[in-house]
Structure 1
Amino acid sequence: MAAPHHVTLVFLAAAVLLLLGSAAAEEEGGPRGKRLLVLVDDLAVRSSHSAFFGSLQGRGFDLEFRLADDPKLSLHRYGQYLYDGLLLFAPSTQRFGGSVDQNAVLEFIDAGHDMILAADSSASDLIRGIATECGVDFDEDPEAMVIDHINYAATDAEGDHTLIAGDDLIQSDVILGSKKIEVLKVLSASPSAYSANPKTKLASPPSLTGFLKSGVQKAGSKISHEKAGNEQFVTETSKWVFHERGHLKALNVKHNKVGETNEPGMYRINDDLEYSVEIYEWSGTSWKPYVADDVQVQFYMMSPYVLKALSTDKKGVYSTSFKVPDVYGVFQFKVEYQRLGYTGLSLAKQIPVRPYRHNEYERFITSAYPYYAASFSMMGAFFIFSFVYLYHK
């Protein structure tokens, strides 16, 4: 089971969060461990960002706070990773301590672990490099900020319009939860936004703590929100990143001939077969049946010979039946399932398909009756000719 990394780039005024996740083998009872390493460039971040860290701890995560330049820093020991996730809240760090460097962080992600990276306009080359390797580019001008002269907060009316109020969110309850987030931009800014160096440089970006709790009113709107959706956003997306939601697993992949229960070693062309798989979704506390109508299976050899939608009993079991094509060779049952917000499923099972054996064909084929008639009529004619030739005087 494998899936590409989930990547979400979020602009919070001058702050940026890069959220990464990848699928890995599930542990018994849940898809992920609870050990998180938090790297900071100043331990004061633990207090200034206590609302966010408190949300993680309240959901059962074990957070270990370390300075990013700690000389004893390490992500693994004796070939085993010490943590299940990584939070980089050290935007100004030029070099990690111990055995940790950019490659170590990327290897940690590629090994199936998750990461949240927080940065601002002062992000170091190290932090920018990690983000770039994950597919996210920063503006080359380190003093550039996101500016939107249309969708800005009313409190920034006389400023540079770098405090943005957005409400065009990604349409995925898996990522953002089912509750509506009032104000926040996800993944990309509006068409009227751009990146530039404003005339007046901010002394420092707003602290994440204050930004989480602050109210907001969009310029030109009469509706004022007592509390913006920033806190809900970072909470819900962190649930998604650490696979508390949106994690799928597949079990009991089966196939057999119709009317049988045992899985054969091979099929014969034109056999009728059945295919089934169980798919479950992690709800945050337990595995629940996953219900969808867009799961498909391919019967594949170089290209799909059969593509069938799988029906579900809404208890986690997906199944279908079809006839083996009249082509022999080595086929695969393939399920490639990718849905926004969910970890992908990639399932494959190989099976050979053989032609009929010599003793498996019908003794007399209806379509060959004309040939049978021609053969017997020739033999009869030869017999009559021989009889007449031998006995006619």
Structure 2
Amino acid sequence: MRKLFIIFIALISIQITLTNSFSPDNPTDRRILVLVDELALKSSHSVFFDSLQSRGFAIDFKLADDPTISLQRYGQYLYDGLILFSPTTERFGGSLDLAGVLEFVDSGHDLIVAADATASDLIRNTAAECGVDFDEDPSAMVIDHSSYAISESEGDHTLIASDDFIQSDVILGGTKIEAPVLFRGIGHSLNAANSLVLKVLSASPSAYSANTKSKLSNPPSLLGSAISLVSVVQARNNARIMITGSLSMFSNRLLKAGVQKAGSSDKYGKSGNEQFVTELSKWVFHERGHLKAVNVGHHKVGETDEPAMYRINDDLEYSVEMYEWSGKSWEPYVANDVQVQFFLMSPYVLKTLSTDQKGLYYTSFKVPDVYGVFQFKVEYQKLGYTGLSLSKQIPVRPFRHNEYERFITTAFPYYGASFSTMAGFFIFSILYLYHK
């Protein structure tokens, strides 16, 4: 009996531990699977991986063709993020394939894909499914004869120094990246049909994509600022994806290298790569820009309990609390563009919510003079932030027969007509009966 009790307590402890480890209240307490072509990448890219581990992520390294690879077990996903640092892989090991990767993203999980000039069809197809098209020429690389990084041997100018970043503090952090980012790899374009994909790092207007070992016989398919070096996607289910054509961009060598951009006298002792990939990975893995809404409520003015229904022309108050994950704790989210709709087929009321700067958003309004089943709706979509979709349904009824005013001011003409008709009929009857 004592042994059974000990086993029971142990099972409860394990269950509590698992629940806390994967609690949705802590979006950064996560496990990440990293697939690599060779395990030596753990050392050559250790600075990036150490940054993730220092922020609390548990990283599991596996060769991309490992036959034991599995993203889920018994219908539950084992990982919350997937990093593909395996550009040459033609086929994943185990039960993982392209459909499995896409299903992983469709389930709300995050993905980082890094390719290079040796990118296989598998990696290219994965990127294409996410709205990114790499150059069709498998030997093409991004070349820039104006914005290349100065080195002892200038070479073919495929080592680019780019500082054309997206202007978004939530994606790249509030601290400006001063030094250019070193990039050597393949460029890509964005699928015009996909409105969810964004360029985070662009090439300069003088860049082009071509094979460095052959002469140009035709105009390059990718030119200038249309070339994206790093792109991100935030799916409608709030899964986040980062895609780049340079695996070396994450390497210790480029993270620690000094940089001087051609045509500039500014020399930097360290490239912007480490700050760039660190801040961007924080966004991808929801350490920034992750919102949640709690305590959604509404009630009549002067009351505190939420009613089962409202009556037309009632005065009501609506409130919601919104918080943003800072990487360590939930902090109040402060904005002036959060709106609520009181919706029946179309919005009858659209109000911008006021805030107390501590996470609480609120407003008050009068129920419209229309009855039916309404919804309180908050649809909040902002660049770089997870989307919020909140709705609460509530019936609105008309006045009961005993709730109307006894005499309505606007009906006085009708009252006058009725009483004048009765008076006229009475006078007519008297005259008709008693007057000859």
What TM-score results when the alignment is normalised by the length of structure 2? 0.80
Structure-2 change in CA distance of 1:156 and 1:308 (3 Å)? farther
Q: Given that residues 160 and 200 in structure 1 are in contact (C-alpha distance below 8 angstroms), is that contact kept between their aligned partners in structure 2?
A: no
Task: Identify the match of residue 111 of structure 2 among 109, 115, 125.
Answer: 115
2-side partners of 1:315 and 1:192: how far apart? 47
2-side partners of 1:98 and 1:380: how far apart? 96
2-side partners of 1:392 and 1:353: how far apart? 58
Q: Given that residues 33 and 84 in structure 1 are in contact (C-alpha distance below 8 angstroms), is that contact kept between their aligned partners in structure 2?
A: no
Aligned to 1:5: none
2-side partners of 1:313 and 1:156: how far apart? 57
The 3-state SS of whatever aligns with 2:418 is helix
Q: Does 2:338 align with 1:342? A: no
Which stretch has the larger CA shift, 380-389 or 191-200?
191-200
Task: Identify the match of residue 54 of structure 1 among 47, 50, 53.
Answer: 50
Aligned to 2:130: 134
CA deviations over 1:38-82 (Å, ceiling 9, x no partner): 111101111111111111111121111111111111111111111
The 3-state SS of whatever aligns with 1:321 is strand
Structure-2 change in CA distance of 1:320 and 1:143 (3 Å)? same
Q: Specify every segment of 5 or more residues in structure 2 that has no aligned partner in the other structure, as ranges.
A: 1-21, 184-199, 216-245
Task: Identify the match of residue 166 of structure 1 among 162, 165, 179.
Answer: 162
Q: Does 2:303 align with 1:307? A: no
CA deviations over 1:256-286 (Å, ceiling 9, x no partner): 1111111122222222111100001111111
Aligned to 1:77: 73
**Offset at 1:365?**
1.2
Q: Given that residues 162 and 201 in structure 2 are in contact (C-alpha distance below 8 angstroms), is that contact kept between their aligned partners in structure 1?
A: no
Q: Given that residues 355 and 361 in structure 2 are in contact (C-alpha distance below 8 angstroms), is that contact kept between their aligned partners in structure 1?
A: yes
1-side partners of 2:202 and 2:404: how far apart? 63
Which amino acid letter does the alignment assign opposite residue 78 of structure 1? Y
Aligned to 2:204: 190
Structure-2 change in CA distance of 1:187 and 1:301 (3 Å)? farther
Q: Does 2:264 align with 1:221? A: yes
**Offset at 1:159?**
3.5
Which stretch has the larger CA shift, 323-332 or 190-199?
190-199
Q: Does 2:145 align with 1:149? A: yes
2-side partners of 1:378 and 1:206: how far apart? 95
Q: Does 2:376 align with 1:333? A: yes
Aligned to 2:3: none
**Offset at 1:347?**
0.7
Q: Does 2:279 align with 1:236? A: yes
Q: Specify every segment of 5 or more residues in structure 1 that has no aligned partner in the other structure, as ranges.
A: 1-25
Q: Does 2:361 align with 1:323? A: no
The 3-state SS of whatever aligns with 1:348 is strand
2-side partners of 1:248 and 1:119: how far apart? 30
Q: Given that residues 75 and 82 in structure 1 are in contact (C-alpha distance below 8 angstroms), is that contact kept between their aligned partners in structure 2?
A: yes
Which stretch has the larger CA shift, 204-213 or 189-198?
204-213
**Offset at 1:348?**
1.1
**Offset at 1:337?**
0.8
**Larger RCO (CA under 8 A, 6+ residues apart):** 1
Q: Given that residues 212 and 231 in structure 1 are in contact (C-alpha distance below 8 angstroms), is that contact kept between their aligned partners in structure 2?
A: yes
The 3-state SS of whatever aligns with 1:305 is strand
The 3-state SS of whatever aligns with 1:98 is coil
2-side partners of 1:200 and 1:226: how far apart? 34
Task: Identify the match of residue 297 of structure 1 among 340, 359, 375.
Answer: 340
Structure-2 change in CA distance of 1:48 and 1:301 (3 Å)? same
2-side partners of 1:228 and 1:339: how far apart? 30
Q: Given that residues 330 and 351 in structure 1 are in contact (C-alpha distance below 8 angstroms), is that contact kept between their aligned partners in structure 2?
A: yes
**Offset at 1:205?**
7.9
The 3-state SS of whatever aligns with 2:161 is coil
Q: Given that residues 28 and 57 in structure 2 are in contact (C-alpha distance below 8 angstroms), is that contact kept between their aligned partners in structure 1?
A: no
The 3-state SS of whatever aligns with 2:202 is coil
Aligned to 1:23: none
Structure-2 change in CA distance of 1:143 and 1:389 (3 Å)? same
Structure-2 change in CA distance of 1:158 and 1:286 (3 Å)? closer
Work out the percentage of aligned pairs sharing the same amino acid: 74
Q: Does 2:396 align with 1:353? A: yes
Task: Identify the match of residue 415 of structure 2 among 372, 377, 381.
Answer: 372
The 3-state SS of whatever aligns with 1:367 is helix
Q: Does 2:253 align with 1:257? A: no
Which stretch has the larger CA shift, 91-100 or 191-200?
191-200
**Offset at 1:227?**
0.9
Which amino acid letter does the alignment assign opposite residue 309 of structure 2? M
2-side partners of 1:199 and 1:126: how far apart? 24
Q: Does 2:87 align with 1:91? A: yes
Instruction: Give the 5 Å matches for 1:196-215.
Output: 196-199=210-213, 208-215=251-258
2-side partners of 1:386 and 1:62: how far apart? 99
Task: Compute the RMSD of aligned alpha carbons.
Answer: 2.0
Aligned to 1:17: none
Paired residues, what number? 366
Which stretch has the larger CA shift, 327-336 or 40-49?
327-336
2-side partners of 1:373 and 1:71: how far apart? 91
**Offset at 1:28?**
5.5
Q: Does 2:178 align with 1:178? A: no
**Offset at 1:109?**
1.2
Q: Given that residues 33 and 59 in structure 2 are in contact (C-alpha distance below 8 angstroms), is that contact kept between their aligned partners in structure 1?
A: yes
**Offset at 1:189?**
2.1
Q: Given that residues 156 and 163 in structure 1 are in contact (C-alpha distance below 8 angstroms), is that contact kept between their aligned partners in structure 2?
A: no
Which structure 1 residue ranges, 4+ long, deviate > 6 Å from structure 2?
A: none
1-side partners of 2:143 and 2:374: how far apart? 54
What TM-score results when the alignment is normalised by the length of structure 1? 0.88
